[in-house]
Amino acid sequence: MFIEYIFTLDDGNVLQYKVEFDRTRDRLLDKNLYPNWTELDFHKCTNCPLNVEEYSHCPVAIDAHEIVLGFREILSCNDVDIHVITPEREYFKRTDAQTGLRALIGFVMASSACPILSHMRGMAYYHLPFASLDETVFRVTSSYLLHQYYVHQKSGEIDLKFEGLKERFKEMQTLNYHFLERIRAACDADSNLNVLATLFTISSMLSLSLERHLKEIEYLFE
């Protein structure tokens, strides 16, 4: 399964990315083939469970580096036409570069081999481009509850207070912070920085005020 993002800029330039959902890479890669900011020990996340002796590069950085380099001279405020192709349907939106890049980077991160982000793979498989905050809350909490169903089937335990989900968002805050430091070393314009800063903000908001966001959509179930 793959998704494809096509960015058409007003100056006629086109950026096209076709991303496979299942991506396999060797754990030890030739460092001469990739930028130094993709190496695992470059601003390594403090909560990263990977060992530099077993993994030469950060899985997320390796998957995202071509996208980051493609957008490093594009400002986040630039309007672009974005065409997204998934196996089930196609999407089109004219919006700022940051919105499209955030959707693409979000998919790449969630479907990467990063163990911290592995719980996002279900959402990545059913990728929804340009999701609003309410849609994100709905999808994240629904996905978490489905996971709890599978946990319950195996162990009888279940978390209906979303304590585990809040911990996941805290882990993601740490990851986003350190990954942002990688991106700072890779790009000159602001698109990539704004995307990661936005992802950091979303994970922070959901970890601190998840109940408030759930309250806002409660009326849909009354």
What's the pLDDT at 1?
87
Query: Which contacts (CB < 8 Å, 24+ apart) does range 205-208 have?
Result: 205/133, 206/136, 206/137, 206/140, 206/166, 206/169, 207/166, 207/169, 207/170, 207/173
Residue position matching structure tokens 């693409």: 104
> Alpha-carbon distance 67 to 180, whole Å?
14
What's the pLDDT at 115?
94
DSSP 18-38: EEESS----SS--GGGS-GGG
The backbone torsions φ and ψ at residue 91, rounded to the nearest 5 degrees and listed phi first, read -125, 150
How many whole angstroms from its chain centre is CA 161?
A: 24
Given a cut of 50, the residues of the chain with pLDDT beneath it are none
Identify the DSSP state of 17. Answer: E
Give the burial class of 92: count Cβ atoms within 10 A of its Cβ; 0-12 exposed, 13-18 middle, 19 or more buried: exposed
How many whole angstroms from its chain centre is CA 95?
A: 19
- Position 152, amino acid: H
> Alpha-carbon distance 140 to 123, whole Å?
8
Neighbours of 118 (CB within 10 A): 12
Q: Which residues, other chains included, contact 41 with Cβ-Cβ below 8 Å and sequence gap of 6+? A: 52
Question: Model confidence over 33-66: pLDDT tens digits?
Answer: 999 999 999 989 999 999 999 999 999 999 998 8
What's the pLDDT at 190?
58
- Cα distances from 180 to residues 25, 37, 63, 103, 193, in angstroms, run 23, 11, 15, 16, 7
What's the pLDDT at 195?
66
